[in-house]
Structure 1
Amino acid sequence: MSQPPPPPPNQPPPGGFGAPQPPPPGGFGAPQPPQGPGYGYPQAPQPPQAPPPAPPQGPPPQPPQGPGYGYPQAPPPPQPAQGPGYGYPQAPQPPQPAPPGQPGYGYPGQQPQQPYGYPQPQTYPMQPQVPQGGGRKVSPQLLIIVASVVAIALIVGGGIWYASSSGKDDNSKDTSAGPGNPSGGSDGDEDKGGDTGTSGGAKEKAPGDPSAEVLFQVPAPEVKDKNQIDSVVGSWLTDSVYAKAGVNKIVGYDPDSGSAKWTLPLAGQTCAGSPEITEDGVAAVVTEAAKRNSKGDHQSCTQVTAFEASTGKKLWTKSVDISGSKVAFGEITISGSTVAVGGGYSGGAAFDARSGKVLWQPKVGSCEDVGYAGGDQLVAVRKCGDYGDEKYQVQLLDPKTGSVKWTYKVPAGIDNAKVISTKPVVFGVDAGEITASGVTDVFSLDGSGKLRTKITLADGKYEHDCGVGKVHDCKGITVGNDKLYVPTKEHDGTAQYSQTNEIISFSLATGKTTGDKIDAGDGYTIFPMRMDGGNVIAYKDGPYDKGAQVVSVNGASLKASELLETPSSETVLKAISGMVPESAELLYTDGRLFMGKELVSKPYSADEKEYTALGFGAK
C-alpha cells in the first residue's frame, strides 16, 4: 500500500494540526508493533500466535448503559404485530387557537440546556473479556464500543400521545429548517408526493479495484487537560477540496494528497456546520464568539460565518441581536440560497448565503422555531406554549421568505421531532424513556403536509443515532425509493463469535416492512450513509482482520457493488476504530472516503495517535 506524502513546504512541524502528518515508522496503514490503547479504549486483540484455546466461559460483560455500536447481542425476540397507534392517519382537525403566550428565555422556572459541546462527565468502559479458548478472537470493533460513547446524555421524556392533525398555516414565521441532501437544493421546490423510483439516477460507479490506499491523515490538535473537550465539527467536500474544521479554524486540503490549500481563521471553535453546500459552492458554520480561555471555558455560539468551500474565502460573519443580547444557535443548514440557523433558546433566523442579508430572525411571541432541516426543501420544527406544556409542529417553509406552506401538528405529549428527510418530509420522534439514541416512531407526510402513515421501530431491534436536542442530526437512517432504510441491531452470525446485522426497509405509504433486506455479511455490520439516486450508499464495518467497506446497493435488485475497502493493517483499523460511524462525519464520493471527528479530547496514553480526519481512495 502506498504511503501518504510528506508535509508540503512551509507547513507546521510534524504533529501540528492543519497539515498532513508523515506516517510513523513503517508508514500509516502498515503493520506496526502493538501500541497502547486510545482514549477510553480497551486493548485491541493481536492475531493469534498459538493454536486456538477453548471457547469463552460466558458472554462478555455489558457496558453499564446498554451495548454500544458493534457490541455482540443476542437476537431480539419477535415483535408482536401492532395496530394503528397515535399519529395514524386521522381526519383533519379544525385550526386550533394559538396557545397562551410563552415567557421569554431566562424567565424564572425555565431550565435551559447546556451549550453545544459542553464537556460531559467522562466514564471509562468495562473491559470486555477476550475468549480464552480455541476459535476466532473478538474484533477490535467489539472491544472499543463503549469508549466511542464516553459521554451520553440521557433525556427521559414521557406523556400520553394522541392522534395529530395537519392543516394550512398562512402565517409568516421567524424560523429556519434543517438536514437533508448534501447539496443546497432548490428554493421553493415543494414536494408533490413520494419518490417511487428504485434504481435510476445513481452516480457512484464501482472501480476496477475497490482496494483503497491511505490518502492522508489529519493529526488531532493537542489537548492537555483530561477534562477538556474541543469542538472540530464540520466537514465539506468539493471537486477540489476536502475542508475540515479544526480548533478556531477551517482548513482546506487537497483531497488526494492532504496538502493544505487554504486556512480560514474563525472567531472561536465551531458549534455546528452545514451538512450542505450551495450550488455555487457556499458552506456555513456557527462558531463561538471568541476563543476559549486557558481554563477552556466555552463561549456563546453567536457567530454565523459563510465561506466558499473551494477557496476558503470568507463571505460574511453575522450575529442576531435581540433586546441588546446576541442570540446563540446550535444548528445550521442550507436550502437553495438560504442559510438557516436554529437550536438556541430564542428561535431561528436565516440569511442569504452569498450576501449575508438577514431574511428573517427570531420574533417575540408564544411560538418559536426549534431548528431547521435543509437540502431539497426547508423544513422547520416549531414549538408553541408555556414551558412544560409545549406543542410541536413540523412546517414546510419558503426558503427565501420564511413563509409557511403547510403545518403538521405533532401529537400531544411529544417533546421532540427529528427530521430525517426534507423531500419527502419524513420525521421521527423518541417515545417515552427511549431517548438519546434515535427515533422510535417515524411519520411520513405527503406533499401537502398530511400524514401518510406512521412507522413504529420496535424497541431494541434497530440501530441508528440522532443527536440529543438536534433537529437534523440523524445518522444511520435514510429515506429513498419511497422507503425508510434502517439497520437492525447486531446479532450472532453463523461463524463462532461473529456478529452481523441487516438494513431493512419500510414503506412510506403503508408503514409496513417491504421485505427488502440488505445483509452485511458474516462478521460485518452495515448502516446506510445516504442515497445515490435509487441506490443506497452504505458503510460496512469489518471484522478485526478486514478493512471497512463502502458499498452501493441497487434499490430494485438489492445487489451490492463494492465501491471501496480500506486497508486491513492494524494501524489503519485502529485509527478507523476512533471514527465510530454513527458519530463520525462520513463523506464518500467518486472513489474517496473521508472520515472526520466532531469532538477531540486528551488521548488515553501519551503515545497514542489521534486524528481528526482520515482520507482513503480507491482507483
Structure 2
Amino acid sequence: MTQPPPPPPHEPSQQGGFGPPTPPAPQPGYGYPQTPQTPQTPQTPPPPGAPPTPPPPVPGYGHPQPAQPGYGYPGQTPGYGYQQPTVPMHAPSGPPPGGGGGGRKINAQVAIIVSAVVAIALIIGGGVWYARSSDEPGGKDDTAGSTGGTTGTTGTTGSTGGDAKGGTSAGGEEKVPADPASKVLFQVPAPEVSKDDNSVVVSGSWATDTVYAKSGIAEITGYDPGKGTELWTVPLDGPVCTATRHVTDDNLTAVVYQPDMPTKADPSHGCSQVAVIDLGTGKKVWTKTAKTGDQLISFDNVTLSGGTVAAGSTSGGVAWDIASGKQLWAPKGTDSCYDAGYGGGPKLVAVRKCGTYEARQLGIQTIDPGTGKVLSEYKMAKGIEYAGIVSTDPLVVAADVGDSAGDGSGISDFFSVDNKTGELRTRISAPGEKFAARCDTISRIEQCTGLVVGNDRLYLPTEEHEGGGESYSRTNEVVAFDLSTGKQTGQRADAGDGYTITPLRMDGDSILAYKRPPYDKGGQIVSIDSGSFEESKLLENPATEAVRDVETSMLPEYAEILYRKGRLYMSQVYASEPSGTDDKEYLAVAFGTGG
C-alpha cells in the first residue's frame, strides 16, 4: 500500500489559511518546588506497575482554556510505523544476572515478551528533543534535531546576556534581533492518510544551515530552511518508527523504519531497518538489519555518538560504524543481560538490564563507542525497571522510583552520575505534581522532554499554576538544580502571566526556551542568561487567530519544536486522516524574524 507523497509546501499569501484545532483537556495547578534532597543512595522500590491505558490524543487550542491537568504523556492513537514496546515478564534461563561485562551481549532466551500497548502514549511524550550546540566537548556533534529530549552543554556559569540590538545570547550562536516579530515562512501540508491507516508515525525533524528535514509517510523530505522549497526526498520502504536527534559534522543522522507498508491485514512489519541519512545530499547512505537467532531484531531506539550508530531493543543492542556500516557489536547468547537502549551525543551510554521483571537491576554504562567496552557503570537500586538518559555529559539519568511520580511522566527522581567512576554524585527528587518534564523510559531511552542540562545544572519547568493577573490565567517557571549538590540554585525564570515556558536546548551557556502563549498572543522563543536568569526575546509569533490555531496545535507536549538561526520550526509526530472539517491541516510550519 503506497501512500502518495505530501503536496509541496507553499508560501502563504496571507495568514488566514490555518485551521483551528480543538482545545485540549484542562490542567490542574501545581505546587512550587520543595527543598531538594541531599545526595543519597536510592532505596529499593517496589516494582513499577504497568501504566494505565492512555487517553485519546490532545489537540492544540486557540482560545482561552480552563485549568489543565499536570504534564503527563499525551495519549495518542498508535500509528503505523510504531513498534509496540514489549516488557520482559519472566527470568531468563542460564546463569544468574551479571553486571554487564565488557562487551554487548545477550541471552537469546532473555525473556518471554508480551505487548505493552499502554506504553504507546509514552512514545510521543511531546517529541521535542533538541541537539547540543556546537561548542560542546567532543566537537560539533549535533545541529538542531528533534525526536525527543534535550541534552545540554557543559560550560561556565554566568554570562553577560545578549545585546538588545543584534547581539547573541550568552556564549551562544543565536542572535537577539532588533525586532523579534516573526512571520510565517512556509507551511508543509499534512500528507493524505486513509481511513484504513488511521494514523501514521511521522516523527523526526532536523535543522542544519542548509536544510530543514522532516519525516513524512515512508519518506524524509528536505526543505529550504527559509522558503520551504523541496530540495530532496529520501523514500523508505515503510513508515519511520523512531529517529535520533543527533547530527554529525558532515550532516549524517539515523532512523529506524519498517521494511514494508502496513496493511489492514498486516498492520506492522516490525522496526527492523536502521538507516543512515545524509541531510546534506538527501541520500540514504546505508540500511542495516540484525538478527537474534533467525529472527530480525525490532529496534525501539537509535542514537549517534563518536562515529557509531547504536540501536537498542528488548533483544539487545547493535552498533555500526556510521561511515562504512560495519557492524561493531550485536547480541550474543552468553549473557543474561541486554542493552535496552542508548543515549548518544558527546558520550555513548547504555541502559543495560539484568534480572527478572520483578527484581530488575539496571546498569548505566558509559561505553567506548568504537568497541562497546564498558568504561564505567552505575548500578541503580534493584526493582527500578526503567530509566531514561537525559544527558550523557554530564551524565544525568531519570527514573520513576517505585512508580511514585503518579502523573505518567516517567520521572520521580534524577540521578547525577560521574562518567569516569560510575559513582552517584547526587540524587534529585522531582515530584510529578511539581515539575513538568517527562521521559519515555520504557522503550525510547533517550526521549526525555521539556528539560535541559548545561553548565553542570539541570533546568526544569514547574507545573502550571494560577497566574497573578486579574483575569483567569495559567503560568509556570523554569528553575535550576546543581548537579553536584542536588540543591536548587535559587534561580527562576518566570514565564509571565498567561504564558507557560518549556526549555528547549542550550545555546552556549544560555537556555533557549519556548513560551506557549495565552489566547490573544503569539508564542515566543526566549534566551535565558544562565547567570542572571534574565530573558531576551528572540522571536514572537503573530497573534492572529489563524496563526495561533496552527501554532497551538503543535505545542511541546505533543509535537516537535526546533529553533535555529532565527527560525522556529514546529511539526507533528503523527499524521491522521482528515478531521472532516474544511480547515487546512499541516505537517509542519516555519516562522522567522527575517532579520
Q: TM-score, with normalisation over the residues of structure 1? A: 0.76
Identity %: 41
CA distance in 1, matches of 2:251, 2:32: 48
Structure 1 residue 565: Cα displacement: 1.1
Aligned match for 1:453, one of 409, 423, 426: 426
Once the two structures are superposed, what CA deviation does each residue of 1:555-609 show, in whole Å capped at 9, x if it has no partner?
Answer: 0111111111111111111111211213322111110111121112224333232
Structure 1 residue 42: Cα displacement: 3.8
Which residue of 1 is the match for residue 217 of structure 2?
A: 247
After superposing the two structures, state which structure 1 stretch, 457-466 or 496-505, moved more.
457-466
Which residue of 2 is the match for residue 585 of structure 1?
A: 560
Structure 1 residue 265: Cα displacement: 0.5
Give the secondary-structure state (helix, strand or coil) at the position aligned to 2:56: coil
Structure 1 residue 79: Cα displacement: 4.4
One-letter code of the match for 2:202?
A: V
Check whether the contact 2:503–2:513 (CA below 8 A) recurs between aligned residues.
yes
CA distance in 2, matches of 1:22, 1:592: 15
Which residue of 2 is the match for residue 481 of structure 1?
A: 455
The structure with higher relative contact order (CA 8 Å, sep 6+) is 2
Give the secondary-structure state (helix, strand or coil) at the position aligned to 2:549: helix
Give the secondary-structure state (helix, strand or coil) at the position aligned to 1:571: helix
Give the secondary-structure state (helix, strand or coil) at the position aligned to 1:572: helix
CA distance in 1, matches of 2:6, 2:456: 43
Aligned match for 1:439, one of 411, 415, 431: 411
Give the 3 Å change call, closer, same or farther, for CA 182–273 of structure 1 in structure 2: farther
Aligned match for 1:359, one of 321, 328, 331: 328
Check whether the contact 1:351–1:359 (CA below 8 A) recurs between aligned residues.
yes
Check whether the contact 1:268–1:292 (CA below 8 A) recurs between aligned residues.
yes
Asked which structure has the greater CA Rg, the reply is 1
Which residue of 2 is the match for residue 123 of structure 1?
A: 56
Which residue of 2 is the match for residue 350 of structure 1?
A: 319
Give the secondary-structure state (helix, strand or coil) at the position aligned to 2:286: strand
One-letter code of the match for 2:332?
A: K
Once the two structures are superposed, what CA deviation does each residue of 1:79-112 show, in whole Å capped at 9, x if it has no partner?
Answer: 4775665429xxxxxxxxxxxxxxxxxxxxxxxx
Give the secondary-structure state (helix, strand or coil) at the position aligned to 2:339: strand
Which residue of 2 is the match for residue 491 of structure 1?
A: 465
CA distance in 2, matches of 1:81, 1:203: 33
CA distance in 1, matches of 2:244, 2:59: 36
Once the two structures are superposed, what CA deviation does each residue of 1:421-447 show, in whole Å capped at 9, x if it has no partner?
Answer: 110001110133336314110011123
Give the secondary-structure state (helix, strand or coil) at the position aligned to 1:432: helix
Matching of residue 268 in structure 1 with residue 257 in structure 2: no
Give the secondary-structure state (helix, strand or coil) at the position aligned to 2:402: coil
CA distance in 1, matches of 2:59, 2:221: 37
- Unmatched 5+ residue regions in structure 1? 1-14, 44-62, 89-112, 115-119, 131-136, 158-166
One-letter code of the match for 1:553?
A: I
CA distance in 2, matches of 1:497, 1:474: 31
Give the 3 Å change call, closer, same or farther, for CA 139–388 of structure 1 in structure 2: closer
One-letter code of the match for 1:315?
A: V
CA distance in 2, matches of 1:379, 1:205: 33
Structure 1 residue 458: Cα displacement: 2.5
Give the 3 Å change call, closer, same or farther, for CA 127–349 of structure 1 in structure 2: closer
Give the 3 Å change call, closer, same or farther, for CA 538–77 of structure 1 in structure 2: closer
Aligned match for 1:385, one of 352, 355, 359: 355
Check whether the contact 1:350–1:361 (CA below 8 A) recurs between aligned residues.
yes
One-letter code of the match for 1:494?
A: G
One-letter code of the match for 1:446?
A: D
CA distance in 2, matches of 1:427, 1:464: 13
CA distance in 2, matches of 1:179, 1:124: 23
Match runs of 1:28-39 below 5 Å: 29-30=15-16, 38=21
Check whether the contact 2:155–2:508 (CA below 8 A) recurs between aligned residues.
no
CA distance in 2, matches of 1:294, 1:260: 31
Which residue of 1 is the match for residue 144 of structure 2?
A: none
Which residue of 2 is the match for residue 306 of structure 1?
A: 276
Q: TM-score, with normalisation over the residues of structure 2? A: 0.79
Check whether the contact 2:137–2:154 (CA below 8 A) recurs between aligned residues.
no
Matching of residue 87 in structure 1 with residue 47 in structure 2: no
Give the secondary-structure state (helix, strand or coil) at the position aligned to 1:366: coil
Structure 1 residue 125: Cα displacement: 7.2
Structure 1 residue 390: Cα displacement: 2.0
Which residue of 2 is the match for residue 4 of structure 1?
A: none
Structure 1 residue 78: Cα displacement: 7.4
After superposing the two structures, state which structure 1 stretch, 346-355 or 385-394, moved more.
385-394
CA distance in 1, matches of 2:87, 2:519: 36
CA distance in 1, matches of 2:8, 2:17: 23
Matching of residue 197 in structure 1 with residue 157 in structure 2: yes
Give the secondary-structure state (helix, strand or coil) at the position aligned to 1:573: helix
Give the 3 Å change call, closer, same or farther, for CA 412–179 of structure 1 in structure 2: farther
For the aligned residue pairs, the C-alpha RMSD in angstroms reads 3.6
Check whether the contact 1:305–1:315 (CA below 8 A) recurs between aligned residues.
yes
Check whether the contact 1:428–1:443 (CA below 8 A) recurs between aligned residues.
yes
Which residue of 2 is the match for residue 374 of structure 1?
A: 344
Which residue of 2 is the match for residue 101 of structure 1?
A: none
One-letter code of the match for 1:485?
A: Y
CA distance in 2, matches of 1:151, 1:292: 15
Which residue of 2 is the match for residue 17 of structure 1?
A: 6
- Unmatched 5+ residue regions in structure 2? 44-49, 79-83, 89-97, 107-128, 142-152, 160-169
CA distance in 1, matches of 2:303, 2:412: 24
Aligned match for 1:74, one of 25, 29, 32: 29
CA distance in 1, matches of 2:545, 2:196: 26
Check whether the contact 1:262–1:312 (CA below 8 A) recurs between aligned residues.
yes
Once the two structures are superposed, what CA deviation does each residue of 1:104-126 show, in whole Å capped at 9, x if it has no partner?
Answer: xxxxxxxxx99xxxxx8863779
CA distance in 1, matches of 2:438, 2:490: 23
Give the secondary-structure state (helix, strand or coil) at the position aligned to 2:359: coil
Check whether the contact 1:488–1:504 (CA below 8 A) recurs between aligned residues.
yes
CA distance in 1, matches of 2:576, 2:73: 12
Structure 1 residue 359: Cα displacement: 1.0
CA distance in 2, matches of 1:368, 1:333: 17
Give the 3 Å change call, closer, same or farther, for CA 229–528 of structure 1 in structure 2: same
Check whether the contact 2:23–2:65 (CA below 8 A) recurs between aligned residues.
no
Which residue of 2 is the match for residue 288 of structure 1?
A: 258
Which residue of 2 is the match for residue 138 of structure 1?
A: 64
One-letter code of the match for 2:503?
A: P
Structure 1 residue 310: Cα displacement: 1.5
Aligned match for 2:480, one of 505, 509, 532: 505
Check whether the contact 1:229–1:601 (CA below 8 A) recurs between aligned residues.
yes
CA distance in 2, matches of 1:42, 1:215: 25
Give the secondary-structure state (helix, strand or coil) at the position aligned to 2:512: strand
Q: How many residues align?
A: 519
Aligned match for 2:208, one of 238, 241, 254: 238
Match runs of 1:463-482 below 5 Å: 463-469=436-442, 470-482=444-456
Aligned match for 1:171, one of 99, 102, 111: 102
CA distance in 2, matches of 1:584, 1:602: 17
One-letter code of the match for 2:560?
A: E
Matching of residue 516 in structure 1 with residue 491 in structure 2: yes
Check whether the contact 1:269–1:287 (CA below 8 A) recurs between aligned residues.
yes
Give the secondary-structure state (helix, strand or coil) at the position aligned to 2:554: coil
